[in-house]
Amino acid sequence: MSSSVVFVEKWPVLGRHGKAAEWLQVWSDLGRAARTIDAYGRGLSEFLIVCEREGVDPLTAGRADVAVFVRELTERPHRRGANVASIDSGAGLSNATIQQRLVPVRLFFGFLVEEGLRESNPVGRGRFVPGRHHGGTRRGLVPRFTKLPWIPDEQQWRDVLAVAADEPIRNRVMLALAYDAALRRAELCSLRTDDVDPGRRMLRVRAEVTKNRRERTVPYSAPTGVLLTGYLARRATISRARGPLFLSESRRNHGEPLTLWTWSKVVRRIALAAGVERFSTHTTRHLCLTDLARMGWELHAIATFAGHRNTDTTLQYIHLSDRDLADKLAKGMDHIHAWRVAMLTGAEATGTAK
């Protein structure tokens, strides 16, 4: 079955708009990850549905029509309830989700411009503009909010570890590797037996499973190495075949590769049991990178370790660590305090105090 047929089956609205299906097929042929294609297909199909409802031809839609789509996203109830929605935006989808939905719409209009079917793209994106107010950034269609990643405090982390201590060895080693090597969920669940070098305590994170398609090699700690050795012995009782490192032990999927969703459920269960509901599969990565910043690692070293293409992303963890701010504040306040005290005592000494 061709991928275009699969697209139409999954998102029937694409079948009613040939250029939309053609655009998504191009991205699929270019080798974009399945999850990226899924996000593109979902976002564009939602826009096309709004266009059909409003009686708008997507090929000629303007900025006002895109604005209607944005309004629909901001007013849409969150699937997890009003309380979750209010954390980010007060109503509807979060700012990050709205940005994600707009990406395929912008790319689709860019495709139409390249094909000569439009003259301009109604979905603007923020970009640097030299000379504008002495150099600055022109805002995109929807302002982008940048928030620092959430990390647990020491007590919350201890609570999570206390619950995790009773987990099977597979779950414990996965949690340890996720923290030690700052692994994303997909990177962790995609590890294979030949990605592990126990002798040097190193992991190879293959390019095809990373977010930006850049391979990297990262270390893990000696305690994690002990856990991993124990897990490998356990894994040998399930399967001696080389391949995916982490295997399911359930009756239904015994010996099958552990899925992303199963790992998410494991972490969610641990988080709820520990009373730290904000803890997720990505929290260990945030915490590791913040700890590296706290230890004084340089920006580019942290970026290389994390596999960040842009150091702007890495800077979030530098800021979150408060590595330099506290020292600078203390030194600055000491100086100011000493100056104020000197002024006060000097005033009293000369008898000019009032």
**CATH number, domain with residue 85:** 1.10.150.130
Asked if residue 245 is part of any domain, the answer here is: yes
Query: Positive or negative, the Cα torsion across 247, 250, 254, 259?
Result: negative
Asked if residue 147 is part of any domain, the answer here is: no
Asked if residue 288 is part of any domain, the answer here is: yes
Q: Grade residue 97 by pLDDT with cuts at 50, 70 and 90.
A: confident
The per-residue pLDDT for range 198-214, each reduced to its tens digit, is: 999 999 999 988 888 88
One domain, residues 346 and 304:
no
Asked if residue 135 is part of any domain, the answer here is: no
pLDDT score for 1: 53
One domain, residues 303 and 342:
no
One domain, residues 231 and 292:
yes
Asked if residue 169 is part of any domain, the answer here is: yes
Q: Residue 192: phi, psi to the nearest 5?
A: -115, 165
One domain, residues 111 and 14:
yes
Mark out the alpha helices in the chain (DSSP H runs).
3-10, 12-15, 18-29, 34-54, 63-75, 82-88, 95-114, 154-164, 169-180, 185-189, 222-238, 260-274, 283-294, 299-306, 311-321, 325-350
* Mean of pLDDT values over 236-257: 93
Asked if residue 139 is part of any domain, the answer here is: no
One domain, residues 334 and 300:
no
CB 280 within 8 A of CB 271: yes
pLDDT score for 106: 93
Give the structural domain span for 338. Answer: 324-354
One domain, residues 317 and 343:
no
Asked if residue 136 is part of any domain, the answer here is: no
Q: Number of folded domains in the chain?
A: 3
One domain, residues 172 and 226:
yes
The per-residue pLDDT for range 154-171, each reduced to its tens digit, is: 999 999 999 999 999 999
One domain, residues 317 and 329:
no
One domain, residues 196 and 339:
no
DSSP state of 193: G
One domain, residues 270 and 191:
yes
Q: Residue 127: phi, psi to the nearest 5?
A: -155, 155
One domain, residues 317 and 353:
no
One domain, residues 238 and 220:
yes
The pTM is what? 0.67
6 vs 146, more confident? 6
pLDDT score for 181: 94
Q: Grade residue 143 by pLDDT with cuts at 50, 70 and 90.
A: low
